[in-house]
A and B are shown apart, each in its own frame.
Chain A
Amino acid sequence: MDKKVGEFNIVIVGTGGQGLITLLQIINRAALDEGYDIRTSELHGLSQRGGSVEVHIRFGQKIYSPLVQYGKADFILGLEAQECLKAISFAGPKTVFLINKLFIPIPEKNIIPEEEITQKIKKVSDKIHIVEAADICKKELGNDVTSGIYLLSLAAQKGFIPLSSDSILEAIKKTVAPQYLDINVKTFELSQKYEK
């Protein structure tokens, strides 16, 4: 009858301040509007001070645990490329990786090159998409703060997540504070335009 999934598991990784919680809220809203059960888990406190952040989103017919199990993520969204290494434990052969081509230095460490990251991910899954979301947003909108929205919109458009672009846009409108709505909607439109 409908195309509803039984269960869908998302892990988003990034660093504090990249707007992971907002993305989680948008996905939640879209999933609720599409009639799914939802459970998510997020971390607050010191983890926000530029450290690694990881949020789990699960939706489907009936969801129990708020945590995505190791090896069971359907979709991993990396707002920072190096952080994706941390998410590999959640990936299996079918997992789609959508990665922001953004490298935020880790103090006292060399930046891990893109090839090394993709090599390591490929040992588990070869469904890797690296997108210059941060650069595109910076170039077109003057700020890369919404690159997460860019990638989320792209994920919906490309079918990486079983939520429609319309639902995502509606959810953005319902979730984002009025003063930031304009740039977020522009980011959404930008992503639809760039990657068709």
Chain B
Amino acid sequence: MEEVLSKEIGKKVILMGNEAIVRGALESGVQFVATYPGTPASEIGNIFYRITKDGLKIPYFEFSVNEKVALEAVVGASFSGLKSLAAMKNFGLNVCSDALLPFCYTGTKGPTVIIVADDPNCWSSGQSEENSRPFAFLAHIPILEPSDPQECKDFVKLGFEISEKFNSPVIVRTTTRVAHQKAPVVISELASPAGKGEFVKDVRRFVTMPPRVLEMKGELLERVKKIKEFAEKSNINIKEGPKNAKIGIITSSVSYLHTKESLKDLSLDLPILKLGFFYPLPENIIKDFIKKFEKVLIVEELEPFLEKEVERLAKTVNPKLQVFGKNLLPEIGEMRPEFVSQALSKITGKKYQMPKIFTDFPRRFPQFCVGCPYRLILGAIKKAVNEKEVIFGGDIGCYMLSGLPPFFLQDYLSCMGSSIGIAHGIKKATSQKLITFIGDSTFFHAGIPALINTVFNKSNPLIIIMNNQTTAMTGHQPHPAASEGEEVVKIEEVVKACGVKNVKTIDPVNSQEFEETVKEFLSKDEVSVIIARHPCVFLLKKK
């Protein structure tokens, strides 16, 4: 029995942050959920997929083709009055940002929460160490930051309440150490919502055409003001510790837990302001907290967005306040209790010795699984071409491992779907040969427009679509060409319809044919595509 569906009301159950998010949404009576998988948010979709397949009728759940489509689906459901949830990793928020901003203008009808998972230290992320917080400033969207699974559940529920009260979507932002943290969570009753929505025409509300859109912006800013008043009174911004101290700490998210740990270690008793709201920021609470201090330490991961705000607020209430933050704490990588102790030691004079860190060990890189068809594809390419004369484009998926030993076939890597877009640019800029790799799910996510562009603007990379019939890296989610064994959308037909003339689907087990086709296609004047079709070894194991 799924622990997220636990019926032990009032009891403590151990949940992962992502499980607690699902539980929170179910306790809120969520009716519509859409997501595209991405670590560290993937389990949210996996759990909804499993429990809805196992018979839970509401919410409606889908793995969308990408995060933009997922958010748009959620926008449609919200416009139709349904309580809706979208979930994604940080880069997904970039992908859907085009839909996010107007959604903040129209506002929600059905309450809507968007889960965004950042990954400090890039444990499961290529591309960048993104801090998604400034999307709050860009879109004027409230952001709540839970520190542990209990708060994940509570903040999702509060997010729906805020959305319901103010008609604004709300982001609940986690990080890897929150999303993948396990801890006891107190279980409350599941709601039993209805399934159907109704779209009631309301042009003033749902159409963002000028000049109305500027009025909407005014309404949006008013809404944010009201949410700010709400935030000032909210009990998720917590003051702890002694009064009349000269030094204080402001923190949020998992950094709060590291801070508590550090204070315990150093036997220090300092006031802490733990912020549940990152945006809108409860400025009065902060002003009141810092007004009598000599020093304040801001403990936050990655860029100092909170620190900058505190510096600004200090100018009005306590200009002599010394604000410490990124001058003592790292801006790269995740927070640790040791770093907080080190910083507090410098500020308070309390002795602390940073433990010795042992780094003399060999790195064990992840590997293609035994029996992975990608090994066959890369092996055949190594035989077919002179690696030094060909550029190899990488994309987001298990095949990123092609850049590691023993293959070393990856000369650039950026964001989802970019292997083809960048390949086009390189082909236009140079006369060098180029092979790009893109996975099946990634192709649907963001590869198709780039493929059409190579046809439309005439370049000739060789594109290898690594069709292992699943979204393997994030935990084997279905996609349009592999939905429980059904090929709903056929990749080869899509490629042909995009205008590609040189297309071949080959099982890489046929290495001879594969090698010959690579050689042949690499000499073509137009774009060519090999669909390397062989199931992920995990799918075979499952059967």
Residue ranges of A at the interface with B (Cβ–Cβ < 8 Å): 15-16, 24-25, 28-29, 32, 37-52, 63-67, 69-72, 82-83, 85-86, 88-89, 106-109, 112, 120, 124
Contacts and interface: CB of A to CB of B under 8 A. Distances in A.
Contact of B183 (A38, A50, A52): A38
Contacts of B362: 82, 85, 106, 109, 112
A92 to B, nearest CB: 8
Contact of B14 (A32, A44, A46, A48): A32
Contact of B124 (A25, A47, A108): A47
B366 interface: yes
B372 to A, nearest CB: 9
Contacts of B180: 41-44
B475 to A, nearest CB: 8
Contacts of A47: 123-124, 366
A64 B261 contact: yes
11 contacts: A37-B184, A39-B183, A40-B183, A44-B475, A46-B366, A65-B254, A70-B338, A70-B356, A85-B358, A108-B405, A109-B362
A66 B181 contact: yes
Nearest 9 CB-CB pairings of A with B: A45-B124, A51-B366, A45-B39, A85-B361, A49-B366, A71-B355, A70-B355, A65-B261, A64-B260
Interface in B208-265: 254, 257-258, 260-261, 264-265
Contact of B357 (A48, A67, A89): A89
Contacts of A29: 14
A43 B43 CA distance: 12
A50 B39 contact: no
Contacts of B148: 39, 66
B461 interface: no
B176 interface: yes
A120 B14 CA distance: 36
A107 to B, nearest CB: 6
B12 interface: yes
A38 B358 contact: no
A51 B40 contact: no
A109 B182 CA distance: 35
Contacts of A49: 366-369, 398, 401
B182 A64 contact: no
A5 B339 CA distance: 26
Nearest to A42: B180
B177 interface: yes
Contacts of A89: 355-359
A107 B367 contact: yes
B184 A51 contact: no
A89 B123 CA distance: 19
Contacts of B360: 85, 120
B124 A66 contact: no
B261 to A, nearest CB: 4
Given A38-B14, A67-B177, 11 more contacts: A32-B12, A39-B181, A42-B180, A44-B40, A46-B400, A47-B124, A65-B257, A70-B355, A88-B358, A89-B357, A107-B365
Nearest to A92: B355
Interface string B67-80: 00000000000000
A67 B474 contact: no
Contact of A24 (B182, B400, B401): B182
B284 to A, nearest CB: 28
Instruction: Count chain A CB atoms within 10 A of each CB in B43, B355, B356, B358 and give the residue with the most.
Output: B358
A51 B364 contact: yes
A44 B177 CA distance: 11
Instruction: Count chain B CB atoms within 10 A of each CB in A42, A46, A86, A109 and give the residue with the most.
Output: A46
Given A45-B39, A46-B400, A107-B405, A69 B182 contact: no
Interface string B11-48: 01010000000000000000000000001101100000
B330 interface: no
B473 interface: yes
A38 B184 contact: yes
A42 B338 CA distance: 19
A47 B42 CA distance: 14
Nearest to B89: A45
Given A49-B368, A64-B260, A85-B360, A28 B182 contact: yes
Contacts of B304: none
A120 B356 CA distance: 14
A51 B360 CA distance: 17
B10 interface: no
B349 interface: no
Contact of B338 (A44, A50, A69, A107): A69
Contacts of A42: 180, 182
B55 interface: no
B102 interface: no
B337 interface: yes
Contacts of B182: 24, 28, 38-42, 66
A71 B355 CA distance: 6
A41 B366 contact: no
A43 B261 contact: no
Nearest to B16: A42
A28 B14 contact: yes
Contacts of A52: 363-364
B406 interface: yes
B205 interface: no
B361 A86 contact: yes
A64 B264 contact: yes
A65 B474 CA distance: 26
B364 A46 contact: no
Interface in B346-389: 354-369
Nearest to A32: B14
B474 A45 contact: yes
Contacts of B369: 49-50
Given A66-B254, A89-B357, A107-B405, A16 B366 contact: yes
